[in-house]
Amino acid sequence: MSQENVEALKKLWQDLMAGDLAAVDLSLVDPAVVYEDDLLPDHSGESYHGHEGLRRAWAQFLEPWENFENDMEWTRDAGNEVVSCHRVQARGKGSGIAGELRYAYVFRFREGKIVHVKSYGDSSEALDAVGLSE
């Protein structure tokens, strides 16, 4: 089942990066999902609940960027969890300043659905959280 989780997550991410948040199929995501964001200063320590919470968090994340590209660089299977590492290249709306950021998520699955998501500023922290190493 864990490799199926990895493949399903990659498909979900691809759909999410296509752009239309309202159109993203969240059938892979449990309706009671919890997303903990410790990545961005204005989101630090926040938790978002349910499908609408995920959409709201993602919209807030995208809001300050004029151009935004987010690539899933790799994934690691950790049984009922999947670690994904991402690279963002973005340009600020107001400032026009370009930047790059790397971060990671841990997605926890139960019965084939994502039930918990947590962001990490460093992929080694995410790997440590699930008992893996680089």
Whose tokens are 């998501």? That residue is 117
Beta strands in the chain (DSSP E): 29-37, 46-49, 65-78, 81-92, 98-110, 113-120
Whose tokens are 């947590």? That residue is 118
When computed from its CA atoms, the radius of gyration of the chain, rounded to whole angstroms, is 14
Per-residue pLDDT in tens (0 to 9) along the chain, 134 residues: 588 999 999 988 888 888 767 778 899 999 999 999 877 656 667 789 999 998 888 888 888 888 889 999 999 999 999 999 999 999 999 899 999 989 999 999 999 999 999 999 999 999 999 999 87
**pTM of model > 0.85:** yes
Q: How far is CA 121 from CA 15, 38, 50, 105, in A?
A: 23, 8, 23, 9
> What CATH topology corresponds to 2-129?
Nuclear Transport Factor 2; Chain: A, (3.10.450)
Q: How far is CA 71 from CA 25, 32, 92, 103, 122, in A?
A: 19, 26, 18, 11, 15
Number of H helices, E strands in the chain: 3, 6
